[in-house]
Amino acid sequence: DARVTQTPRHKVTEMGQEVTMRCQPILGHNTVFWYRQTMMQGLELLAYFRNRAPLDDSGMPKDRFSAEMPDATLATLKIQPSEPRDSAVYFCASGLVRGAEGALYEQYFGPGTRLTVT
């Protein structure tokens, strides 16, 4: 049963510390998304990779957030320095772009990383 995995599942850190979240997409998927979910804002797209290349990171605060895909089996989201307003659940999702139009017909989410910044 193929799944997206994320580590850590929970992270509590102090303001100013660096936080790194990791995601292993489903084997064979060529797209990876990072989302943030809060009660106030709902689900927000932070970054989107296709074939490991960043295509859209317009939803990400550039001064403190960075997202990378060092290889096809690992995506990372880093926050440096972290702030209390970054407290949220961060989801990674993966999918397979298919067809001439390059559309996504499925998108599977990981279990999320619950981040608390104090």
Q: Which residues of this protein are in contact with other proteins, per CB under 8 A?
A: 31, 33, 42-43, 45, 48, 50, 55-56, 89, 91, 93, 95, 97, 101-109, 111-112, 114
* Of 7 and 17, CB closest to other proteins: 7
* Of 17 and 38, CB closest to other proteins: 38
Least distance to other proteins, CB of residue 37, Å? 8
* Of 72 and 97, CB closest to other proteins: 97
Q: How far is CA 109 from the centre of its chain?
A: 10
Q: Is the distance from CB of 2 to CB of 94 less than 8 angstroms?
A: no
Q: For 45, phi and psi rounded to 5 degrees?
A: -80, 130
Residue 81 tokens read as 């320095």
For 77, the enclosing helix (H) or strand (E) is strand 74-79
